[in-house]
Chain A
């Protein structure tokens, strides 16, 4: 077993174990942190595939931004684990059906002709000066420019929808305009008066 294989198995083992802990651990904050570990190891495996742009972007977007906001929310929830477990047995059949369907679909796709060592021969080694990022950018903005723009449009719609859903104006809330606050000069607040000294 050469060094690369060893690294792959190390990353894969940690990743699978962490993914398992995400759904088995009781505390939601611990679960979110295990998900962070899973993403990080997935990034490592992508690095082994020489997809450094995708790997680093995965870490930057999911670990650096998405999971931070996720933790931000989860930390503030006061989750009662016992109450969450109450309906476990009544939900189990529905959950089991969904799980079996997903498993069946994955088996169908992954065991099909598109995957496997024969279907995906090892790509030739990259020549010197080959830049993963440049190639990805070229493909993304030439061959796939319309799907790419469409995807960004979907994201934009989702962003606008998220803002629209959460934007609420409470009646009677007070608001200070920061621009006006910053624009305040000394003369607006302080007036210097000259007056004669008073005797008691």
Chain B
């Protein structure tokens, strides 16, 4: 690979590292955007089947061109900026919504060594970047200068901050048993252990010893991405569409893309942190990127499944779940794991 790229590298000279990094960024973002587009299609199909409907089937064979048609439609629509808005912030809002959900992919390891930036504090970076996502919603809601967006913003700010805590403590458990903040190291640590030696790798992944944290992380992830049944931020029966009410065309599409990109991000994080990343579940099949793809898709399916199954939570129940159930549970489990690691029964030495 290196020898093959040598002539191209010499062509660019000193600018080569920047060019090469940009190429890698495109290689991550472009497939991600296609995944995002087809997730909207998959969501409509899956929920359609779960509710005994057909789902989109008109544009192209099996409706497969539907996301393209939706994208073209949103691109061609006029971007309306209402006159009473705070103009600059109104445009910055959607940009700030999508930027963190793309930036976070810089540290995601796709296979052993297949990562754009192998940062030592990768997990911390992910937490910090995902905590910035709330700004897009806050700024959009405030800049709209309208009642429903503002209510949506207040809900979003409270909800995302609450569930970030539970998510953070669940991750503290993961980094305690992996003894590393590097995502590649965290996956490698899951490939070791008694069960992995027996060829049953899937039993040594983090989901089993940290099962309560796995569940908390998954539910917090759904709440963090404002997906049903935690979608009170845009609860259309109460506040129309929350922070997105005043947006149209591509500015609205950016919020939409950010939401689905976040779903992929939370799913791939779950797959990496708890489901062994690129590791194969059994010893006799080789590891590889395909395993990560399969695991991530299954977690995404859980998102869709939850949306098709559960009615929307009431707002005070959401707050209660975050602060009075998840937070004490995760705090307690951090203590349990700490004692477990130091005790003779530890399985991580």
Which A residues contact B (CB, under 8 angstroms)? 29-30, 33, 36, 52-53, 56-57, 59-60, 63-65, 68-69, 71-72, 75-76, 131-133, 178
Contacts and interface: CB of A to CB of B under 8 A. Distances in A.
A131 B128 contact: no
B128 A59 contact: yes
Given A59-B132, A133-B120, A178-B320, A75 B127 contact: no
Contact of B131 (A65, A69, A131): A65
11 contacts: A29-B142, A52-B119, A52-B121, A56-B128, A59-B131, A63-B128, A68-B138, A72-B138, A72-B154, A75-B138, A132-B121
Contacts of A132: 120-121
B125 interface: yes
Contacts of A52: 119-121
Contacts of A75: 138, 142, 150, 153-154
Contacts of A178: 316-317, 320
B139 interface: yes
A71 B160 CA distance: 14
B121 A68 contact: no
Contact of A65 (B125, B139, B164, B316): B164
A75 B316 CA distance: 22
Contacts of A71: 138, 142, 157
Contact of B164 (A33, A36, A64, A131): A64
Main SS of the interface on chain B? helix
Interface in B155-174: 157-158, 160-161, 164
B121 A53 contact: yes
A50 to B, nearest CB: 10
B316 A131 contact: no
Contacts, number: 67
B121 A133 contact: yes
B340 to A, nearest CB: 19
Contacts of B124: 53, 56-57, 60, 133
A60 B89 CA distance: 22
B134 A68 contact: yes
B142 A131 contact: no
Given A29-B142, A72-B158, A75-B153, A64 B132 contact: yes
B90 interface: no
B186 to A, nearest CB: 14
Interface string B145-157: 0000010011001
A69 B162 CA distance: 11
A94 B160 CA distance: 41
Contacts of B157: 68-69, 71-72
A29 B167 CA distance: 28
Contact of B125 (A33, A56, A68, A72): A56
B213 interface: no
Interface in B206-231: none
Interface string B301-323: 00000000000000011001000
Contacts of B128: 56-57, 59-60, 63-64
B135 interface: yes
Contacts of A33: 89, 139
List 8 tightest A-B contacts by C-beta distance, closest first.
A64-B131, A60-B128, A59-B128, A56-B124, A56-B128, A72-B157, A52-B121, A178-B320
Nearest to B126: A56
Contacts of B161: 65, 68-69
Contacts of A57: 124, 128
B120 to A, nearest CB: 6
Contacts of A60: 124, 127-128, 131
